[in-house]
Structure 1
């Protein structure tokens, strides 16, 4: 996969995820993927992968933040 496709896909995926988080418009991911696939299967695949990876990272970061908060309990010693 080309670096250009990955870079563009990462940027568009990040913007799309922000849009979904603000609006709840989950359909935008499918609409964008379909539109990309009409012109470039490479970009479409990179976008879908990037959405999955970025969403997984967001979920992991949120889970970690919750766990840290739950276990911190003001205990500075760890």
Structure 2
């Protein structure tokens, strides 16, 4: 990645951590607006990183839940 993408991704990670800690999802939009006043390119890279990281988190949660359910179902099944 380039400098813009690297910096935007690092910021996105920190913002998502802060959103989780503070319980304030509006922080994402506030940071994006602040970036947009100086650099729309950085704002777009930031929002892309937010979307990618959020999607990855949701996908991992789904995978974890499916595996957990399958393991629980396997334990409930009668032995053959």
TM above 0.5, yes or no, is yes
Indicate whether 1:13 and 2:12 are aligned.
yes
Normalised TM-score (structure 1): 0.88
Per the alignment, residue 78 of structure 2 pairs with none
Q: Which structure has the bigger radius of gyration?
A: 2
Query: Offset at 1:73?
Result: 2.3
CA RMSD, aligned part only?
1.6
Structure 2 unaligned spans of 5+: 76-80
Mapped partners of 2:69, 2:56: distance in 1: 20
For residues 6-45 of structure 1, the aligned pairs below 5 Å read 6-45=5-44
Q: Which runs of 4+ in 1 moved over 4 A?
A: none
Structure 1 unaligned spans of 5+: none
1:34-63 CA deviation, whole Å, 9 max, x = no partner?
110111111000000100110000010011
Mapped partners of 2:62, 2:22: distance in 1: 22
Number of matched pairs: 75
